[in-house]
Structure 1
Amino acid sequence: MSCIELYIEFEQSEADRNIELEDYNSESKDEFESNYEIVGPGEDEDETGGATNADVAEVANALANSHPFQEPSFMRSLDLEAMHAPEFPQYMNAAIPIVADGEFTVEMEFSSREAVIKAMKDYTIRRCVDYRVYESEPTTFYAKCTEYGNGCDWLIRVTKMQKKYCWEIRRYNGSHTCTRSTISQDHSKLDSKAVAEAIKPLVEVDPSIKVKSVIAEVQSKFNYTISYRKAWLAKQQAVASIFECWETSYEALPIWFEAMCHKEPSAVVHFETMPAYQGDDLVPDIRVLHRVFWSYYPCIRAFRHYKPVVQVDGTHLYEKYKGCLLVAVSQDGNNNIVPIAFAIVEGETFDAWYFFLSNLRQHVVTRDGVGLISDRHDSIRSAIERSNGAWSPPRVFHMFCIRHIESNFLRKFKAPYFHLLAVNTSCPTQ
């Protein structure tokens, strides 16, 4: 059995010292002489102290032998996982306690009001029934079947129990007695919030999941076909719930880059912002992200050992805030493609490419004799012409991207065998 040695040091506070000093100073001369041995002028203090120390040592040894120290049993069986145990385990499983047959019961407990509503929605959706809320207060939730009084007596009342710190079903009339047929193609309680909660695992794995895939997942899970708009809203809510909203993400960029530069001072970040307007009015003290370029120091340093080739390209951002992600990559000695620089810009415009290529040349690609591969977009060519020779021969030599040549070639010539011809023609020159 492994043992853990514990060393405990008691530190005396300043307040304790003051109290002890006051006690020491409060003794009278008579009390002092009665408590302490007075060494006379002709006596040797060291000799007297030595005798006293010997006596003390003998007493200490005798006490130690008669009372040998043994560590307490709890020190030999420390449970290091105990610190992670829940403090109130009796309230940990009160989230959605649906019983085996799917019915509620009186005295069933829930952890929160939100858990009550979620359980109610899940119950009605799966049983193809519906309810109407009659009372919704901070401490009470009361609902009846939409067919209450027309042959169905289903109702439920859930109350917040202050002493138990949970919500509890206080009244329940049992299962629905109304017709359990599908209400419609959709369900009123299957709102975008409920759908968002159901598709969270899918969105967490693939944030770019298609809306039609969301509709198919809901159809499979709940047997309802929701509208495209509801599925789209649910996806946005799920993304915001997992990754926070788009505005928060953009607001975090400066903080994230500041932390990155603090951790690695040699990293490069270059922001460009614009003033913010609300209508035609300028919003004071607010700036809007226009462009940002960044490169990590390991990328900058590693490029010195890569092949003298750089490829640049961009991909569009299709979510709430449009834009373009520009990326520069290189290749190491094992033919691995390695990213070396990034930028978020407004689009593949002349100014955006000039911003990216200027920073790339200044901070990352600082050596000459490098090959530049691109799709020869008009904006790239214009930015290169404006670079005052920084991206022009003999400092940089331009190459064409084979994939873009193939794409443009096939767009012009539809014959499939021309595809292979174009590839075989271009590969030896690369």
Structure 2
Amino acid sequence: MRREYGVNISYVKAWHARETAYALARGTPEESYVILHAYGEVLKMENPGTRFEIELQNDVHFKYMFMALGPYIRGFSSCRPVIIVGGSHLKGKHKGTMLVGVSMDGNNQVYPLAYAIVDNETDRASKWFMSNLKCAIGVHPNLLFVSDRAVSIGNAIRAVFSTTFHGLCTYHLKNNILWNFKDNTIVGIFKDAARAFRMSEFQVHWDQLRTLRNAVVSRYLEDIGLERWACVYQTERRYDNMTSNNAECFNSLTKVY
């Protein structure tokens, strides 16, 4: 305002003006919650096959919402059978967590599949999200999930998709290793081991890890499960989706809202 119009106003006044403009253009969040049921019904009419679910607390207050558009559900059958799951905290006036599930299409581009708004990343909320996701996409052969080590997401996948393989994000594992062992050398060896495509190459890096910290590092990774992060031990196809970064990309696109 000062640079373009020569008007000197405080930050608080500018913030209130922006909020007023948003309310005039989009309506208030409170108004949006009131018409959420109607919005879901319109989505179902305009996009056949859409799954839109809302759960209320005490039949009054908003608790959970799930949405998967019909065209994306049908198109998932042409994507790689990989679903990358992630969660992020909402930054607006009304707090909560957004859980997202994205896939990758034939051009290796992010394919948004489903998302949910929940109160927090708890076992109950994650299981509710996974249950609705299963109702939306059904049972797919060779389906695989990738996520970070969030306990609630892992529990929900085991409960709802009991026969589905769950791989872990190597980026988050790398950060966990750095946090636990405070050694960039260990992190570098882990990254090389995770990306190795030949057993002989993996074994070289694994032998290095076993010599560090009295084998504490290698035991830590073995307890996680070698098949969940190392390429050479993969029991299902990950199509080189070694991280949950694609879900984070989807989250970053929505953070301004």
* TM-score, normalised with respect to structure 2: 0.69
CA shift, 1:329, in A, is 0.8
Query: Which of these residues, 127, 144, 147, is aligned with residue 354 of structure 1?
Result: 127
Query: Which of these residues, 47, 50, 61, is aligned with residue 264 of structure 1?
Result: 47
Q: Aligned in 2, Cα 1:274/1:333: closer, same or farther, shift over 3 Å? A: same
Q: Aligned in 2, Cα 1:225/1:424: closer, same or farther, shift over 3 Å? A: farther
Residue 175 of structure 2 aligns with which residue?
407
Partners in 1 of 2:109 and 2:188 — Cα distance?
25
Unaligned runs of 5+ in 1: 1-216, 277-286
Query: Which of these residues, 169, 173, 192, is aligned with residue 424 of structure 1?
Result: 192
Kindly indicate whether residue 2 of structure 2 is the aligned counterpart of residue 222 of structure 1. no
Give secondary structure in 1 for the equivalent of 2:48: coil
Partners in 2 of 1:224 and 1:329 — Cα distance?
45
Residue 35 of structure 2 aligns with which residue?
252
1:222 is aligned with what amino acid? Answer: G
Residue 391 of structure 1 aligns with which residue?
161
Kindly indicate whether residue 159 of structure 2 is the aligned counterpart of residue 381 of structure 1. no
Kindly indicate whether residue 17 of structure 2 is the aligned counterpart of residue 234 of structure 1. yes
The structure that is helix-richer by fraction is 2
Partners in 2 of 1:224 and 1:420 — Cα distance?
51
Larger Rg belongs to: 1
Alignment of 1:283-322 (within 5 A): 287-322=60-95
Give secondary structure in 1 for the equivalent of 2:127: helix
2:72 is aligned with what amino acid? Answer: C
Contact 2:80 2:104 in 1 (8 A): yes
CA shift, 1:417, in A, is 4.5
CA shift, 1:317, in A, is 0.8
Contact 1:310 1:330 in 2 (8 A): yes
1:273 is aligned with what amino acid? Answer: L
Contact 2:88 2:99 in 1 (8 A): yes
Alignment of 1:14-413 (within 5 A): 217-218=1-2, 221-222=5-6, 224=8, 226=10, 228-275=11-58, 287-385=60-158, 387=159, 390-392=160-162, 395-413=163-181
Give secondary structure in 2 for the equivalent of 1:255: helix
Give secondary structure in 2 for the equivalent of 1:355: helix
Give secondary structure in 2 for the equivalent of 1:407: helix
Same amino acid, percent of matched pairs: 32
1:233-273 per-position Cα deviation (integer Å, ceiling 9, x unaligned):
23322221222111112223222211111122311111111
Partners in 2 of 1:312 and 1:414 — Cα distance?
27
Q: Which structure carries more relative contact order (alpha carbon 8 Å, separation 6+)?
A: 2
1:92-133 per-position Cα deviation (integer Å, ceiling 9, x unaligned):
xxxxxxxxxxxxxxxxxxxxxxxxxxxxxxxxxxxxxxxxxx
Q: Aligned in 2, Cα 1:232/1:409: closer, same or farther, shift over 3 Å? A: farther
1:3-34 per-position Cα deviation (integer Å, ceiling 9, x unaligned):
xxxxxxxxxxxxxxxxxxxxxxxxxxxxxxxx
Aligned length: 198
Contact 1:219 1:225 in 2 (8 A): no
Unaligned runs of 5+ in 2: 197-230, 232-241, 243-257
Partners in 1 of 2:150 and 2:157 — Cα distance?
11
* TM-score, normalised with respect to structure 1: 0.43
Residue 208 of structure 2 aligns with which residue?
none
Give secondary structure in 1 for the equivalent of 2:35: helix
1:398 is aligned with what amino acid? Answer: H
